[in-house]
Amino acid sequence: MRTDPSLLTRPAGSSAVARVRGSWLPRGDVLPVLLLALLPAVVFGIPALLGHAVVPGDDMTQNFPLRELAGSQLRAGHLPLFDPWIWSGAPLLGGWNAAAAYPLTWLFAILPGTAAWTAGLILTWETAGLGMFCFLRALRLGRLAGFLGALSFAFAGAMSAQVSHFGLVAGMSWVPLVLLAILRLCRHSAARGARFRWIAVLTVSAGLVILAGEPRAVDDALVIVLGYATWMIARLGRDWFRAAVSVAAGLALGACLGAVQWLPGLAAVSTSQRAGGSVALFDSGSLPVRWLLLTLVPDLLGGSGSLRQPAFFSGYNLTEVTSYVGILPLVAAFALLGRLRPGRGLSRWPEWIVWHIIGLAGAVLALGGNTPLGPLLYRLPLFGGQRLQSRNILVLDLALAVLLAYWADQPAPAPRLRRGLPGFTRGRTWPETALGAIPAIAVAAVAVLGLTRGPALLHWLGIGLSRAASVSGQLRPSLIPYAVLGAAAVVLVIVMRRLGPRSRPRLLAGFVAVDLVVFTVLCVV
């Protein structure tokens, strides 16, 4: 018996969704859940079994050894509070990077180091993917839409590129569960039993964001969570109070749970060079405005060095500036704006518009000191004391993944013919097509510029003329896939309305898969 692919895009609340008897998981969700659970095991487990565990960059020099130290102290029956091996001793728990209070770090007390590290990687990416899938399904989006959004969030953009900064990824992996709890608290604010359960979920997931040991993840999570919670509560109208109290209680309890990390962490920072933070420190690592083109073509300034392409050749590094979640998330963000029909009251605005606002906030925060808002952002508590503002691009990436799910759930509303006028449709569908084609055209145009006017484009992006001329020829082959993908995305957007219910989900899934593989090979592996 064959399954109708159109079922993949039906809402979670549809009567067409069959449930396994005695199970909370809809039958059709089993395959996406299995894929999101197995993919991290394949990506991280197989290399580890072959003797090549994924421990790049700062993970090798900092995160892995500090977790080994914390695990050895736990195994010896001591609290992991102190590192005796550097200077005359240094804080271990208060130093943040060891994530000594994070449950996944405790694996190092019972497993060999490589096994504990690999298990942590697998569980982190499973948490990110499955958490996002559950959140998107709770938004009543179809299972294919939820799967594509979860896949784009967990395995593209900064979540994938920042694997060398495990604490950052680990902290962000819990954000979808925080969002899910907020959504449930706002929808079921009148049900006492459900309210208490979801307050508990919110408490644990928010606390784990902090315990993961990366202050930047805490900042980015606050931007996303507070923005979404404010939006959801404001849309409730007169029923806002109970939901607001529930969400505030969950976040406050989460902060208390995370206090075992952030209290000694702030104390340690207050005695370090970071205590004398300056505008120059804050501005360091801010994403240059022109480098926003890397959200269109991620290896425009060089990639990972695979397939004989030049490695990243600018003055920064590829990990810190990568934010490419794919072409279709950008298409979705623009196309959805074509459906925007503002109404009176927040409840009449489309629920997805908040993700445009959050995504824009993430882009501004990533630009940091390169915007007029830099001096103001520097004065924000906690946020202003940190550097490497480009990491805030994670906020944009998550927002784009959610917008992709909204669009993929209904990428092309079926046109309705006007009476007596064959071929003419009610409503305006052309704005969606026109706006959705803009980022796809931009991707193809940037790639073509790199192929034809490479030295000039690289020089405009801040590369010296001699260096730009020497690397542009080596760079060209890696730009061809993005030129092809951009052109294919333009065609896909234009013909989307004419596709049948079977071919549409297949093309969407196939395009996202190919896009993800190209990005991973050229920019991550």
Question: In angstroms, rounded to a whole number, what is the distance separating the alpha carbons of residues 288 and 167?
Answer: 24
Element (H, E) at 102: none
Please give the residue range of the domain that contains residue 96.
Answer: 27-276
Question: In angstroms, rounded to a whole number, what is the distance separating the alpha carbons of residues 189 and 244?
Answer: 9
Residue 45 burial by Cβ neighbours in a 10 Å radius (0-12, 13-18, 19+): middle
Per the listing, tokens 């395959």 go with: 31
Question: Residue 490 domain-assigned?
Answer: no
Instruction: Check residue 273 and give its pLDDT.
Output: 66
Question: In angstroms, rounded to a whole number, what is the distance separating the alpha carbons of residues 21 and 490?
Answer: 43
Q: pTM of the entire structure?
A: 0.91
Question: In angstroms, rounded to a whole number, what is the distance separating the alpha carbons of residues 194 and 184?
Answer: 8
- β-pair partners for 38: none
Would the CA dihedral through 94, 218, 210, 65 be positive or negative? negative
Question: Residue 289 domain-assigned?
Answer: no
Question: In angstroms, rounded to a whole number, what is the distance separating the alpha carbons of residues 440 and 438?
Answer: 6
From residue 367, alpha-carbon distances to 279, 321, 439 in Å are 14, 10, 20
CB 164 within 8 A of CB 56: yes
CB 409 within 8 A of CB 136: no
Among residues 201, 203, 125, 165, the alpha carbon closest in space to that of 393 is found at 165
- β-pair partners for 26: 19
Question: Residue 101 domain-assigned?
Answer: yes
From residue 499, alpha-carbon distances to 9, 411, 496, 512 in Å are 14, 10, 5, 17
Question: Residue 442 domain-assigned?
Answer: no
Question: In angstroms, rounded to a whole number, what is the distance separating the alpha carbons of residues 222 and 203?
Answer: 14
Instruction: Check residue 9 and give its pLDDT.
Output: 41
Question: Residue 485 domain-assigned?
Answer: no
Question: In angstroms, rounded to a whole number, what is the distance separating the alpha carbons of residues 429 and 148?
Answer: 23
Instruction: Check residue 73 and give its pLDDT.
Output: 95
Question: Residue 68 domain-assigned?
Answer: yes
- The CA-based dihedral angle spanning residues 10, 12, 13, 14, taken in that order and rounded to the nearest 10 degrees: 30
Query: Per-residue pLDDT for the chain (525 aa), expressed as one digit of tens each?
Result: 333 343 344 444 443 333 333 346 788 899 999 999 999 999 999 999 999 999 998 999 999 999 999 999 999 999 999 999 988 888 999 989 999 999 999 999 999 999 999 999 999 999 999 999 999 999 999 999 999 999 999 999 999 999 999 999 999 999 999 999 999 999 865 567 788 999 999 999 999 999 999 999 999 999 999 999 999 999 988 889 999 999 999 999 999 999 999 999 888 887 776 666 678 888 888 999 999 999 999 999 999 888 888 999 988 889 999 999 999 999 999 999 998 877 666 777 899 999 999 999 999 999 998 999 888 888 887 787 788 899 999 999 999 999 999 999 988 655 544 444 333 334 457 888 999 999 999 999 999 999 999 999 999 999 999 999 999 999 999 999 999 999 999 999 999 888 887 888 899 999 999 999 999 999 988
Question: Residue 421 domain-assigned?
Answer: no
Helix 113-138 with 166-173: angle, nearest 10 deg = 30
CB 325 within 8 A of CB 132: no
Question: Residue 337 domain-assigned?
Answer: no
Q: For the chain, what is the domain count?
A: 1
